[in-house]
Homo-oligomer: A and B are copies of this chain.
Amino acid sequence: MKRKITLKDIAKELDVSISTVSKALKNSNEIGFDTREKVQAFAKLYNYKPNNIAVSLQNSRTKHIALFIPEIVHDFFTTVLKGVEEVAHKNGYNVLVCVSNESFEKEVLSMEMFARGGIVDGFIISLSKETQLKEDYNHLIEIENQGMPLVMIDRITDKVISDKVIVDDMRGSYTAISHLINQGRKRIALITTEDYISVGSLRKKGYKKALADHDIELDERLILTINNIEDSDKAIEKFIRETTFDAVMGVNDVFAVVAMKALQNQGKKIPEDVAIIGFSDGKLLKYAAPTISAVNQHGDEMGKAAAQMLIDRLESDKEAENYKTTVITTTLIEREST
């Protein structure tokens, strides 16, 4: 194990003091030109890099940020990660990823360990399903009490005051449904998640508002609420067998694509018989046959925005407050299914 070279090593080798080396490497003009040259040359030669740990201990900042996502195998969160990583690296920060797997416990334990251990400087989190169900946000509040910046993204809660990045879920949904209505669709179904999932509930609201604004009566039988993701496929198939409609929106990509398959199996033509729209920025809808229209959430933009907000907090010495909520605008991607 080739030990890493330290200031001390350079100092000894060049027969100067450690602090001289330290200053020389910072090009401080406290140090004579010759010494500076000499030290810098030597450091370059031996490829000296300051030990991050020591620097961190010194100023108690790790230059690491944590990103908590509920589930990685989900195009949306993947793009969020990509966005976060990009902005973080650009600003000299590293990203620690924690996949909560929708588990409250993992979210809480990991968060506490990251926070109290001084492992990261701040957090970006998209809440786990379980957390949203329990409505227990003490771990987040605790983070803030410790003075650590926190940015919530996508799956958020109003119970915690912090910076937030969301998408205009309600509006996106509203626009999509309006689009379907304007195309002449009358009976529009919705496949959604249970209400405790913040985004699902907002999308349902947008759906309802669009219907109301266009004087279409709400028919609760056209709304399918998936409570168990495991057998969502079966639930959707059953729903489609038993319900008739001429358009359907899924609050994510899988719901939309599963619905389409079920409809096709029933001999329905897409989009002639039934129009379909989903939520996603991923490949699933883009490569479906026919391609499926989507409300694009711009996960990468959200990730970038969140990272930037967090870093701004970290770099500013103001005592925080005046928390902001950034709303990323969804865009409707029209494809063959509508």
Contacts and interface: CB of A to CB of B under 8 A. Distances in A.
A119 B94 contact: yes
Given A1-B146, A2-B145, A284-B283, A85 B97 contact: yes
B117 A89 contact: no
A81 B96 CA distance: 12
A50 B288 contact: no
Of residues A119, A260, A282, which shows the largest number of chain B Cβ atoms within 10 Å of its Cβ?
Answer: A119
Nearest to A51: B118
Interface residues of A, number: 55
A287 B264 contact: no
Nearest to A49: B116
A17 interface: no
Contacts of A110: 89
25 contacts: A47-B116, A49-B112, A49-B113, A49-B116, A51-B57, A51-B117, A51-B118, A52-B118, A52-B119, A53-B60, A53-B62, A57-B57, A64-B96, A72-B81, A72-B85, A73-B78, A78-B78, A82-B99, A89-B110, A94-B96, A97-B97, A254-B287, A264-B289, A284-B284, A288-B288
Interface of A: 1-2, 4, 47, 49-54, 56-57, 60, 62, 64, 72-73, 75, 78-79, 81-82, 85-86, 89, 94-99, 106, 110, 112-114, 116-119, 145-147, 254, 257-258, 260-261, 264, 282-284, 287-289
